[in-house]
Amino acid sequence: MPRAIYDHVALIGLGLIGSSLCHAMRRGGLARRITGHARSEATRQTADRLRLCDAVFADPAEAVAGADLVILCTPVGRYGAIAEAIRPALKPGATLTDVGSVKGAVVRDVGLYVPDGVHFVPGHPIAGTEHSGPEAGFAELYDGRWCILTPLPGSDPDAVARLQRFWEGCGASVELMTPEHHDRVLAIVSHVPHLIAYNIVGTASDLEQVTQKEVIKFSASGFRDFTRIAASDPIMWRDIFLNNKDAVLEMLGRFVEDLTSLQRAIRWEDGDALLDLFTRTRAIRRGIIEAGQDTAAPDFGRPHGAGPAEKKKTA
């Protein structure tokens, strides 16, 4: 077994992110002991059945007692209450981190409760699927993904470096930036895309001239990819929008401005303006393929023949 990076890791929250961390830690031998907290009895039972942790607690303070690394893996909206609850139980010298998709609000909500002698290093692994819950986790979730750490001005460099080694042990590559910059980057690459995906799926389901059945049937023509994004965990995403309000509203404002100009180009049949944008956007896609962040296989290599024809065969 490789040398553990932390003796004892405590996970607060055992959904997709927390349960994947359990699998990844075991795969890499990154911790000698894993404890966990889940609010719901059902999640605790599932965690026990899947043997995700060595011990699971209903009380978050019990879960963090003695831990060298504490990772908050609940929706961001619950962080403040949890930080307050675990404060007395945090071990001096421990590192406290999180996996939340916003960072400014986390510094604001959690920072207040961090005792002297505990290292607070906010983090955000850029990984996920549209599935949630303790059964959705898998060891490979972080492989080849980025994890952003946003150390504070007074963060202990050794604590940051150790947390970085931990995430690398989970398969991720680590990047450091300020909480403010993180929130701007994520607003454009993640939060606003999710918002417009949720929005168009909502618009489509409200139409009176086109039935929901037709929307579902012909979704492969573009809409389908939006529905995957719009199937993400609702509570997690509500909390993201409420906690990254300023950056999201700023990026959304730019998006709407650009969309209005496209709308005008269509109304006035300005084909050159459309062609210009549609050509420019291809370069970004090439950059993503070259950076290894996606596969170039047509249609993501989705199996062909799993649609209506498939059903025909069995009918």
Strand 146-149 and strand 55-57: pairing?
unpaired
Beta carbon of residue 29, minimum distance to a second copy (angstroms, whole number): 17
Find the shortest distance in angstroms from Cβ 21 to a second copy.
15
Cα gap 123→187, rounded to integer Å: 16
Q: Are 58 and 76 in contact (CB under 8 A)?
A: no
Minimum CB–partner distance for residue 39 and a second copy (Å): 17
- Tell the smallest beta-carbon distance from residue 10 to a second copy (Å): 25
Contacting a second copy within 183-202 (CB under 8 A): 184-186, 188-202
Q: Does 219 participate in binding a second copy (rule CB under 8 A)?
A: yes
What does the per-residue mask of binding to a second copy show for 250-279, with x meaning CB under 8 A?
A: -xx-xxx-xxx-xx--xx-x-x--xx-xxx
**Stretch of 7-15, 90-98, 113-121, 166-174 contacting a second copy, by CB under 8 A:** 166-174
Residue 59, classed as helix, strand or coil, is: coil
Angle at 269 between CA 263 and CA 271, to 5 degrees: 95
Does the protein bind a second copy through residue 62 (CB under 8 A)?
A: no
- In the range 75-134, which residues lie near a second copy by CB under 8 A? 101, 126-131
| CB-based contacts of 170, cutoff 8 Å, min separation 6 | 21, 24, 25, 28, 30, 125, 142, 147
Q: 98 forms bridges with which residues in the sheet?
A: 72
- What's the CA gap between 125 and 110, in Å, rounded? 18
Task: Tell me: does residue 165 bind a second copy (CB under 8 A).
Answer: no
Give how far Cα 155 sits from Cα of 6, 108, 120, 223, Å: 18, 15, 7, 44
Instruction: For residue 104, report the phi and psi dihedrals to the nearest 5 degrees.
Output: -60, -50
Residue among 4, 140, 160, 165 that touches a second copy (CB under 8 A): 140
How far is it between the farthest Cα atoms of the chain? 67
- Binding positions for a second copy, 220-239, rule CB under 8 A: 220-232, 234-235, 237-239
Which window, 87-95, 106-114, 153-161, 299-307, contacts a second copy (CB under 8 A)? 299-307
For residue 214, give both structure tokens: 């037709």
Is 216 among the residues that bind a second copy (CB under 8 A)? Answer: yes
Candidates 145, 152, 156, 178; binder of a second copy (CB under 8 A) is 145
Among 26, 39, 85, 138, binds a second copy (CB under 8 A): 138
- Is 300 a binding residue for a second copy by CB under 8 A? The answer is yes
From the CB of 49, what's the least distance to a second copy, in Å? 20
